[in-house]
Amino acid sequence: EILLTQSPATLSLSPGERATLSCRASQTVSTYLAWYQHRPGQAPRLLIYSASNRATGIPARFSGSGSGTDFTLTISSLEPEDFAVYYCQQRFDWPVTFGPGTKLDIK
Amino acid sequence: QVQLVQSGAEVKKPGASVRVSCKASGYTFTNYGISWVRQAPGQGLEWLGWISAYNGHTYYAQKFQGRVTMTTDTSTSTAYMEVTSLISDDTAVYYCARDDALVGTRGFYFDDWGQGTLVTVSS
Q: What is the mean pLDDT of residues A61-70?
A: 98
Q: What is the pLDDT of residue B109?
A: 97
Alpha-carbon distances, residue A28 vs A91, B78, B117 (angstroms): 11, 35, 33
CB contacts of A85 in chain B (<8 Å) are 44
Q: Which of B35, B44, B95 sits opposite A96 (nearest CB)?
A: B35
Q: Is B41 on the interface with A (CB under 8 A)?
A: no
With beta carbons under 8 A apart, name residues in chain A contacting B111. Answer: 46, 49, 55-56
Computed over every residue of chain A, the mean pLDDT equals 97
- Residue B81 to residues A3, A14, B72, B85, B96, Cα–Cα distance (Å): 25, 41, 9, 14, 9
Q: Nearest Cα to A39, choosing from A88, A87, A91?
A: A87
Nearest C-alpha in B relative to A6: B44
Contact residues on chain A for B105, CB-CB shorter than 8 A: 91
Mutate to test the interface with B, among A35, A47, A94 (most CBs of B within 10 A): A94
List, in order, residues 6 or more apart from B91 with CB less than 8 Å away. B40, B41, B119, B120, B121, B122
Q: Is A97 on the interface with B (CB under 8 A)?
A: yes
Q: What is the dihedral of CA A9, A10, A16, A20, to 10 degrees?
A: -20
- Mean pLDDT calculated for residue range A31-48: 97
At B63, phi and psi to the nearest 5? -60, -30
Nearest residue, CB atoms, B61 vs list A93, A95, A99: A95
Provide, as residue numbers in chain B, all residues whose Cβ is less than 8 Å from the Cβ of A4: none
Question: ∠ CA B82-B84-B85 to the nearest 5 degrees?
Answer: 160
pLDDT tens digits in sequence order for chain B, 123 residues long? 999 999 999 999 999 999 999 999 999 999 999 999 999 999 999 999 999 999 999 999 999 999 999 999 999 999 999 999 999 999 999 999 999 999 988 989 999 999 999 999 999
Chain A partners within 8 Å of B44 (Cβ): 85, 87, 98-101
Band the pLDDT of A86: cuts 50, 70, 90.
Answer: very high
Distance of CA B8 to the CA centre of its chain: 13
Q: What is the mean pLDDT of residues A81-91?
A: 98
Q: Please give the Cα distance from B70 to B52 (Å, whole number).
A: 10
Which pLDDT score is estimated for B104?
87
Specify the pLDDT at position B77: 98
B114 contacts A32? CB cut-off 8 A: no
